[in-house]
């Protein structure tokens, strides 16, 4: 894993950088994947990791629709231009509303946050197994809702392309550099505050 190229901006010191796990420093959002399937145990471990995430009141509002390239019908239904060569395509669907015992509709205030936490778990588990993923907001939500008959109290949040990343040196040079380019990150002092909003935290 090439961590050097994925380093964050130089506003954390070397001691802090050294503490980062390679699942964090080595993560990227590939566009190119090997033509290699994801076996059942691996796939199960990914959704199991997502299931173990924290969620408000343990409501677990994260749902998945998963299509494997090996399953032609599923692939065809989910196929979008964002698929690339990934082995799996997923749509992450959040439960937005539930019924209370009194049969009243209750809007879950943190369902998108909880869903992100579950995807964080899945992402780390994927990294641990050598898989990577690219989230894709550019999905046709209405089409997905229709194709999969998703009820109105659920919201398709994001598409995900997941697979075994193609080794960067297998890519043409122009795309290799683009693929491995370190992504810009906001300076810490622009989002980690102390005394008041906008005041950088003293530990920075
Ligand atoms: C919720 C979400 C939606 C995204 N949607 C897209 C997308 O529609 N198309 C795309 O090419 N990348 C998409 N990305 C990938 C981001 O562009 C990428 O994570 C960001 O540039 C940082 O790069 P890195 O993940 O390689 O560090 C998305 C990422 C997230 C978390």
10 CA from centroid of ligand 1 (Å): 22
Inter-residue contact 162 to 126 (CB < 8 Å): yes
Terminal-to-terminal C-alpha distance of the chain: 28
Q: List the chain domain ranges.
A: 28-177
Tell me which residue has tokens 């080595």. Answer: 26
Closest CA to 27 of 140, 89, 120: 120
106 CA from centroid of ligand 1 (Å): 31
pLDDT in tens, the chain (204 residues): 333 334 455 578 889 989 999 999 999 999 889 999 999 999 999 999 999 999 999 999 999 999 988 888 888 887 766 666 899 999 999 999 999 999 999 999 999 999 999 999 999 999 999 999 999 998 989 999 999 999 999 999 999 999 999 987 777 787 777 777 778 899 999 999 999 999 999 999
Query: For a pocket test of ligand 1, which of 115, 135, 181 has the largest count of ligand atoms closer than 8 A to its C-beta?
Result: 135
Which residue owns the Cα nearest ligand 1 atom 19? 29
CATH of domain 28-177: 3.40.109.10
For position 51, what pLDDT does the model report?
98
Residues lining ligand 1, judged by CB closer than 6 Å?
28-29, 134-138, 158, 183
Task: Please report, for the chain, how many H helices and E strands are present, in that order.
Answer: 7, 6
Tell me which residue has tokens 């998703």. Answer: 150
For position 170, what pLDDT does the model report?
79
- Coarse DSSP helix, strand, coil percentages of the chain, rounded to the nearest 5 percent: 40, 20, 45
Q: What kind and span of H or E run contains 157?
A: strand 154-163
The C-alpha angle with vertex 50 and arms to 127 and 46, in degrees rounded to 5, equals 45
CA–chain centroid gap for 132, Å, is 9
Which residue owns the Cα nearest ligand 1 atom 27? 28
The token duo for 186 is 């906001």
For position 4, what pLDDT does the model report?
38
């Amino acid at each position: 894993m090439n961590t050097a190229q994925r380093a964050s901006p130089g506003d954390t010191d070397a001691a802090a950088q050294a503490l980062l796990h390679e699942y964090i420093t080595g993560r990227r959002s590939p566009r190119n994947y090997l033509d290699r399937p994801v076996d059942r145990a691996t796939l199960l471990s990914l959704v199991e990791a997502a299931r173990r995430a924290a969620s408000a009141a343990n409501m677990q509002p994260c749902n998945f629709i998963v299509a494997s390239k090996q399953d032609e019908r599923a692939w065809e239904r989910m196929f979008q231009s964002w698929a690339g060569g990934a082995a799996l395509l997923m749509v992450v669907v959040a439960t937005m509303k539930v019924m209370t015992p009194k049969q009243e509709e209750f809007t879950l205030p943190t369902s998108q946050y909880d869903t992100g936490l579950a995807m964080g778990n899945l992402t780390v588990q994927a990294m641990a197994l050598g898989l990577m993923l690219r989230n894709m907001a550019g999905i046709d939500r209405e089409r997905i809702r229709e194709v999969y008959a998703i009820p109105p109290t659920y919201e398709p949040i994001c598409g995900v392309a997941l697979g075994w990343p193609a080794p960067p040196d297998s890519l043409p040079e122009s795309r290799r550099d683009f693929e491995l380019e370190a992504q810009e990150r906001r300076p810490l002092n622009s989002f980690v505050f102390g005394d008041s909003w906008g005041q950088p935290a003293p530990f920075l």
